[in-house]
Amino acid sequence: MIAFTLSPDRSAIAFGGDLLLDGAVGTALVVALGGSGAVVFGAAAAWLVSLCRFPGRSVFEWLLVVPLAAPSYVLAYAYTGITWANGSAIEVRGLWGAAFVYAVGLYPYIYLAARAAFASQSACALEAARTLGASPWHVFSRVALPLARPGIAAGAALAMMEIAADYGAAYHFGLTTLSTAIFRAWYAQGNLDAALQIAVVLLLAAVVFLVLERRARGRAAYSGGSTRWRPLPRYQLAPLPGLLASAFCVALIGLGAVLPLAWLGRLALLHGDLGDIAAPFVNSMILSASGALVTLALAAAIAVSARRSKTIGKLSLYAAGMGYAAPGAVIAIGALAIFGFARENEWIGGLSAGLALTALFWAYAARFSAAGVQPIDAGLARLSKGLDASARTLGAGPWRRLIRVDLPIAAPSLAAAALILFVEILKELPATLILRPFDFDTLAVKAYSYASDERLLQAAAPALLIFLAGLAPIVILTRGIARGRAGQA
């Protein structure tokens, strides 16, 4: 067992400083490279499906979001296996391999934000540019792109937060980032002081990305909205450009989902051991379902408080946003620090399985409550003020109004939020890896353990199950968004 001490010493500080510097440089490089690729892919795809006509556009519109179902570490395992087994001249490894995986796996963040920004632009402005003789490229670069820049920046900030917080893919490719540095300081050196120092820096970086995302989202409300009743004018691409556009969308979907999914499926059929992953599968289902219920309750409380009290609601929403911006490793380290303080004051004894699960549920609720607040808040927005006032007039108290009025109306949104939270918790690796009880493996932990031991064939089956579990809800939700957007052809 590793013993931790909270008393600083010079060697610990020196070790933490060197590791912190290396981690900061590594994080900056992979965020810049992976984030830039994701922005290019996401913005280009959003422009094509929003403002152009080409073969397969209506299908690509929702299929382009499918790569979000796969965690970055699953894509990393898949591409390492593909290039290693086939003896490819182009190997996916190191910094450039990680940047490629992040770009093809996280571009949907930018795609969704940019697509929403393009869809909200004024049809009059785009038609005026076309009337004045502007080519499609000039309309995109001089009119549509500047108007959509805040939305793209918001999506880019979210993607970069994910890259900075990711541990599994960065570790698999041998990178020293702030996330991997936390684990190195803690597991390899038993130095909790250095781990806490690095965690603070990573949290500050996450807060910076969160502030940038919120500011970009605020500016997006004033960037070219209109009350148009007609859909955006779309360019009919010529046959060759249309085929190239289709090929580009196929490549993104293939690289981000189809190719790694097919490869993992092949390996799982040939080398998968159902008996070996049965217990992790059951653990994952129980943990994800229980964690989703706990997080859903917190998200519902935050959404309701935001509607009934502006001050408390704003503080709750900002706190939830801070939690979502904080990496799982940082939240887990914070939970361990609280546990260490409680143990030093003899409030508790050892970290039992019950306490470990409690800390894990707390970490899930702190990390993902913001992801549940958004759909619940959208569902509660359908509740008219008159209905709430009528219930109050009839003598219904806050709890009765919540149970009898608010939650039944928001039931579909609650179901969507529960589904999202289930998938997010199922994919979560760092917090689960740190806080789980002894000998309590999940699919994510099992896949990570196999990949860490260079047993990529055995890692395929748990990685595939994680991938498949996220596919159905993402496809359902994105297809619903595509059908429900007003003014679209």
DSSP for 313-372, written as a single string: HHHHHHHHHHHHHS-HHHHHHHHHHHHHHHHHTTSS-S--HHHHHHHHHHHHHHHHHHHH
Position 488 pLDDT exceeds 60: no
pLDDT value of position 38: 94
H/E stretch holding 36 reads helix 10-51
Q: Is the distance from CB of 433 to CB of 443 less than 8 angstroms?
A: no
Identify the weakest region by mean pLDDT among 266-270, 320-324, 434-438: 320-324
What angle in degrees, to the nearest 10, is found between the helix axes of 239-253 and 10-51?
Answer: 150
Among residues 173, 448, 160, the alpha carbon closest in space to that of 327 is found at 160
Q: Give dist(CA 307, CA 303) in Å, integer.
A: 7
User: Tell me, what's the pLDDT at 45?
Assistant: 93
pLDDT bin (cut points 50, 70, 90) of residue 381 is: low
Q: Which two tokens stand for residue 250?
A: 């196929």
Higher per-residue pLDDT: 53 or 127:
53
| Residue 55 in this model has a pLDDT that exceeds 80 | yes
pLDDT score for 40: 94
Give the global pTM: 0.79
Burial class (CB in 10 A: 0-12, 13-18, 19+), 14: exposed
Place of tokens 């004051």: 345
Q: How confident is the model at residue 256 (pLDDT cuts 50, 70, 90)?
A: very high
Taking residues 378-384, what's their average pLDDT? 65
Mean pLDDT of the chain: 78
Of 23-37, 103-117, 214-228, 464-478, which gets the smallest average pLDDT? Answer: 214-228
Proportion of the chain above pLDDT 90, given as a percent? 14
Task: Check residue 222 and give its pLDDT.
Answer: 47
Report the C-alpha gap between 167 and 338 in whole angstroms: 22
Which secondary structure element, helix H or strand E, spans residue 236, and what is its range? Answer: strand 235-236
User: Over pLDDT 70: what percentage of the chain?
Assistant: 72
Identify which of 29-33, 47-51, 390-394 has the greatest average pLDDT. 29-33
Lowest mean pLDDT among 118-127, 253-262, 323-332, 393-402: 118-127
Measured between its terminal Cα atoms, the distance across the chain in Å is 62
Q: Which of 215-224, 275-284, 349-358 holds the top average pLDDT?
A: 275-284
What is the band of 272 on the pLDDT scale with cuts at 50, 70, 90?
low
Residue 60 in this model has a pLDDT that exceeds 80: yes
Q: Which of 38-52, 179-193, 287-301, 361-375 has the lowest mean pLDDT?
A: 179-193
Query: Which of 469, 417, 444, 277 minimizes the C-alpha distance to 360?
Result: 444
| pLDDT for the residue numbered 70 | 86
Q: Which amino acid is at 249?
A: C
pLDDT of residue 290: 92
Which amino acid is it at 245? A
Residues in the chain: 489
- pLDDT tier for residue 127 given thresholds of 50, 70 and 90: low
Amino acid letter at 94? G
Q: What are the structure tokens assigned to 121, written together?
A: 């632009």
Contact 432, 331 (CB under 8 A): no
Whether the pLDDT of residue 387 is over 70: the answer is no
Closest of 326, 298, 317, 305 to residue 402, by C-alpha: 305
3-state secondary structure of 53: strand
Unique residue bearing structure tokens 């702190």: 366
Spatial distance between the Cα atoms of 82 and 261, rounded to a whole number of angstroms: 11
Can you read off the two tokens belonging to residue 183?
Answer: 């684990």
**Burial class (CB within 10 angstroms; exposed 0-12, middle 13-18, buried 19+) of 88:** exposed
φ, ψ of residue 236 to 5 degrees: the values are: -85, 105
Asked whether the beta carbons of 23 and 176 are under 8 A apart, the reply is yes
Count how many Cα atoms sit within 13 Å of the Cα of residue 202 in the half-sphere of its side chain: 37
How far apart are alpha carbons 76 and 168 in whole angstroms? 8
Confidence tier at 7 by pLDDT (50, 70, 90): very low
> Quick one: DSSP state of residue 439?
T
Residue whose pair of structure tokens reads 């289930």 in the numeric block: 422
Using 50, 70 and 90 to split pLDDT, how confident is the model at 144? low
| pLDDT for 246 beyond 90 | yes
pLDDT (0 to 100) of residue 487: 44
Cβ-proximal residues to 371 (8 Å cutoff; 6+ apart), any chain: 299, 324, 417, 420, 421, 424
